[in-house]
Structure 1
Amino acid sequence: MSAPSFSLVGLGPIINRWKYLVAGAVALAAVVSIVVALLLPNVYRSTAIFIPTNPQTADPDRLLEENAQLRNKLELSGRAEDLDRVITIGESQPVAELIIRKFDLYRHYEAGAPGDDKTDNFVLKEFSDNLSIVHNERDAIELTFMDKDKKLAAQVANALVQAIDSVNQQLTLENRRKVVDLYRQRYEYLSTSFERSRRELVGARKRYGIFGLEMQGRYMVKQLIETEAALRKAEASGGDVAGLRRALRGLTRADGGNLINLESYVRGTDSLSMFTTRVADLQGRLIGARSAFETAELSLRGHLSSIYVVQKAYPATKKIKPVRWLIVVGSVVLTFVLSVMFIALLELYRRNRPSAARPA
């Protein structure tokens, strides 16, 4: 005789025979899941959103370009390398250890004193599990941190953004310092050259008796014309010819006794013109170099942010987990399904036992 078949249609009578056991298991699961769900702490999530800037636009050499380009010195960057760099910094262990020490997460996670490998690894894993840094579809970075303390979650998220910004700035800080040092050396060199050229110009003015090329040239020409005309009149009328000749000699010859004379003026014109042009050029370059150095030094001390914060993290107003009703419903449904499977297998075993298959 063949063994009796078993089908799902027969589950109804089976469940009915075992209804008290199934009901008891489901009720017990409901009570236990309710207790567990109530004991589970609320977990809150805080999210900060920011966009990295291009670090090259914050360099001192870029800050000194034309005003039209200066307006773009905090140019937002959606480049893959900038986004990857920021995410890598945020997920790095040094940043994690910095935040763990700052907020004393060893005590918060009740892990014990730091220094033990097992404890350190536990805290790092707990921290990493609660942290999420992703690149969203709008080319922004979303940094999320979860914790039982909603205020702490927001504080940690904002501190992480600041730490990422600080480390990201350090990547270009050494280069920026070198650029500022180059501007300082250029300014000092031009300052020394300007002072030396200025002293040479003053010395040449005293030596040649030239204190203003254009006005002095006009004055000398006027005096020469007037003196020579007076001399001619004196020669014709018998006036003070000797005195006018001495005056004319003083105006035309360096040994004539006059500080301002034509001979010195002609001899010193080229030199004074060269010195004046050199000093004017150095003065303009020195003013530009000083402005460049001051701007570069200010940018270095100012610590321009390498990220643009779109949204700071705020304490959450709603928990993210646990979903208590889902825990209770899931536990009840799972217990009911397992109970039905158990009693169905038990009934199947009983029906297929050899002793049950032999005729009486």
Structure 2
Amino acid sequence: MSEPSYSLLGLWPIINRWKKLVGTALVLALVLSVAVALLMPNVYKSTAVFFPTNPQTTDPDRIATEGSKLELGGRTEDLDRIITIGESQPIAELMIKRFGLHEHYETGAAGDDAADDAALRKFSSNLDIVHNERDAIELTFFDEDKQLAARIANTLVQVIDSVNQQLTLENRRNVLGLYQQRFQFLNKEFETSRQKLIQARRRYGIYGLEQQSRYLAREIIEVETDLRKAEGEGDDSRKIAGLRRALRGLTRSEQGNVLNLEDYTRGVDSLNLFTARMTDLQGRLVKARGDYETADVALKGKLSSLYLVQKAYPATKKSKPIRWLIVAGSVFLTLALSIVVITLLELWRRTTRRPTSRPAL
């Protein structure tokens, strides 16, 4: 005997026979779903939108040496880092403690493991951080209190920014320390070179290169001219000897003259060396001081690592629940389950009532 076939058109007679039961189920589902939907509190959401910046552009070494500008960092690693920070447990625990969410969520007293775990799960379920199609980050927080939702969202952005800065803060302090050490070293070397230059001037008696060189050359020429005239005219030998001693005093250092050609030449060479050294150190010292001051300002300025596009504002309308959808979904689901149940009951009845066929004798 062939098995009976069933179609969707055959459901109507079945539903018609069980219409009281189906109707009762639908009415109950409607009433219960309406009651549940009305009892559910309104939930509001607040969303903040921001871009992460490239942390390298806020480092004092790059600012001081390269003059880098603050750049938006749409890189994957920047986005992943921000999302990871925002979803981390320490951040959640900080926010729960700061806003007293144990009491707000009615999970119990803080410090109890079960209460802490319940508050943490509730907070995590209300937080949503996503990377949108424009390479920005949308941070959304849901809560029954729309003012609290906005405050938590904005505070979360600030905390994420602070933690993100801390990741490079130690390295930036080390860089600032290197700038300070370089400035102090150059300042010490500049002072040492300056003292050596002063000592050289005292030793060789050179204080004005141009004036002293003119004076020394003029004196040497005049004395030598007088000596040649005296020798040519046959003057007194004592006068000639005096002129010779005067000429040796002007040209040789062992004669004891403060200003003489031999010491002056050595002194000029030393002074030129120290002057060149001081000029080089002075330029490097000025640059090192400028770099240090720029890096110090950059570090103390606490440049934000996030570019905030939109603050989180209190919502003007609820986000959920969608009450009509809850009611419609409950009624539809009840209808579908009712059809399945009554269909199975009909199949069971037909199976049990089917006559058993016996072979003819």
The TM-score with structure 1 as length reference comes to 0.83
Q: Give the Cα separation in 2 of the matches to 1:142 and 1:161.
A: 10
1:295 maps to 2:290? no
Gaps spanning 5+ residues in structure 2: where? 357-361
Name the structure 2 match of 1:97.
Answer: 93
Paired with 1:59 and 1:3, the residues of 2 have a C-alpha distance of 80
Partner of 1:157: 153
Alignment partner of 1:52 is 2:52: yes
SS in 1 for 2:317: coil
Shift of 1:197: 1.4
How far has the Cα of 1:260 moved from its partner? Answer: 4.5
Corresponding residue SS for 1:309: strand
Do 1:210 and 1:265's aligned partners in 2 also have CA atoms closer than 8 Å? Answer: yes
CA offsets per residue over residues 206-247 of structure 1, 9 Å max, x none? Answer: 2222123234323443555567678889998x9xx89x9598
1:87 — aligned with what?
A: 83
Q: For 1:168, which of 160, 164, 167 is the aligned residue?
A: 164
Q: Size of the alignment, in residue pairs? A: 349
- Given that 2:57 and 2:68 are in contact with CA atoms closer than 8 Å, whether structure 1 keeps it comes out as no
1:236-251 to structure 2, matched below 5 A, reads: none
For 1:320 and 1:233, locate their aligned partners in 2 and report how far apart those are by CA, in whole Å.
Answer: 115
Q: Mark the CA change 1:215 to 1:317 in structure 2 (over 3 Å): closer, same or farther.
A: farther
1:150-205 deviation line (CA, Å, top 9, x unaligned): 22222222222222222222222222222211221221121111112111211221
How far residue 40 of structure 1 moved from its aligned partner, in angstroms, is 1.0
Q: Does 1:204 align with 2:200?
A: yes
- Is 1:330 the counterpart of 2:326 in the alignment? no
Is the counterpart of residue 221 in structure 1 residue 217 in structure 2? Answer: yes
Partner of 1:313: 312
The Cα RMSD (Å) is 3.3
- 2:65/2:291 contact within 8 Å kept: no
SS at structure 2 position matched to 1:319: coil
The 5 A counterparts of 1:34-45 are 34-45=34-45
| 1:269 is aligned to 2:265 | no
Deviation at 1:117, TM superposition (A): 1.8
CA–CA separation in structure 1 for the residues paired with 2:23 and 2:329 = 16
Native 8 Å contact 2:45 2:141 kept in 1 = yes
Quote the offset at 1:325 in angstroms. 0.8
**CA 1:102–1:260 in 2, change beyond 3 Å: closer, same or farther?**
same
Q: Structure 1: which 5+ residue stretches go unaligned?
A: none
Query: Does the 8 A contact of 2:62 with 2:68 survive in 1?
Result: no
Specify the code of the residue in structure 2 equivalent to 1:53: T
For 1:169-184, what aligned pairs fall within 5 Å after superposition? Answer: 169-184=165-180
Instruction: For residue 50 of structure 1, give the secondary structure of its aligned residue in structure 2.
Output: strand
Q: Percent identity among equivalent residues? A: 64
Match of 2:359 in 1: none
* Cα distance in structure 2, aligned partners of 1:346 and 1:94: 55
Structure 1 position 135, deviation (Å): 2.2
CA 1:5 to 1:86, structure 2 compared with 1: closer, same or farther past 3 Å? closer
**Which letter does structure 1 place at the counterpart of 2:29?**
A
Counterpart CA distance in 2 for 1:247 and 1:318 is 107
Between stretches 200-209 and 257-266, larger displacement belongs to 257-266
Aligned equivalents of 1:87 and 1:32: distance in 2? Answer: 40
Q: CA, structure 1 residues 8+294, in 2 after alignment: closer, same or farther (shift >3 Å)?
A: closer
TM-score w.r.t. the length of structure 2 is 0.83
Note closer, same or farther for the CA distance 1:13–1:261 as it changes in structure 2 (3 Å cut).
same
Partner of 1:126: 122
Q: CA–CA distance in 2 between the matches of 1:300 and 1:288?
A: 18
Give the letter aligned to residue 35 of structure 2: V
Distance (Å, rounded) in 2 between the aligned partners of 1:193 and 1:341: 94
Aligned-partner Cα distance in 2 for 1:148–1:227: 106
